Structure 1
């Protein structure tokens, strides 16, 4: 059911994920083709805000900061999972893997490599501040419109 806190959380985490994706682009090698990287990260942020954060609104401020922080962990996990899965699919279509287990192992390696590229100081600070503020903002929306 749509509620104001879900909408506020979805919009904030989509915006924050989009911004964090833009900040993280500086850490990728030169010549990297990003395609839909920023938009997909924003879409994942929207879903995390709507499904996870908005549902938990209406508790204490300490809980708001906690679910804002947890949302960042969920957002980073699903974004890394999605992009490593997508790259694994592209590589498997180019027949770089000998079988499904080799492809899954390759996906885990891609996940690790992307995590090393993305989880830099400026990106982590952006995510932390955005997560805590998103939890606070969602809680304020729940108190005002619920």
Structure 2
């Protein structure tokens, strides 16, 4: 059921996803084709905000911060899996895998490779601050328009 806290959570995590995507772009190797990278990150933020952060509103502000951090961790894990799977599919279409298990292992390897870009202090700080702000804004919205 659509609620204002779900909408605010989706908007907050979409903005966070787009900002983090733009922070990651300069860290990637030169000549990397990004395509719709920012839009995919924002879309994943919308989904995680709508289905994870939004419904959890309704506790204390400490719970709100915890919900924000949990949702951002989930957002990062889903994002890493998504981009690892996209890279694996790209390689699979080039016939680089002989065995399906090797292809599934490649998803994890690519996700770990992409996860290293999240260790930059600007990206990590943005994720932490965005998690706290998203959780608090969602809780405020829940209390305001309950």
Aligned partners of 1:27 and 1:118 also within 8 Å:
no
Offset of residue 119 of structure 1: 2.8
Task: Report the equivalent of 2:19.
Answer: 19
Task: Report the equivalent of 1:7.
Answer: 7
Unmatched segments (≥5 aa) in structure 2: none
Question: Residues of 2 paired with 1:62 and 1:15: CA distance?
Answer: 22
Task: Report the equivalent of 2:29.
Answer: 29
SS at match of 1:34: coil
Task: Report the equivalent of 1:109.
Answer: 109
Offset of residue 76 of structure 1: 0.4
Task: Report the equivalent of 1:130.
Answer: 130
SS at match of 1:2: coil
Task: Report the equivalent of 1:95.
Answer: 95
Question: Residues of 2 paired with 1:119 and 1:96: CA distance?
Answer: 29
When the two chains are superposed, the root-mean-square deviation of aligned CA atoms in Å is: 0.7
Aligned partners of 1:24 and 1:123 also within 8 Å:
yes
Moved more, 132-141 or 108-117: 108-117
Task: Report the equivalent of 2:44.
Answer: 44
Aligned partners of 1:61 and 1:139 also within 8 Å:
yes
Deviations along 1:25-75, one digit per CA (max 9) or x if unpaired, are 111000000011110010000111100010011110000000000111001
Unmatched segments (≥5 aa) in structure 1: none
Offset of residue 120 of structure 1: 1.5
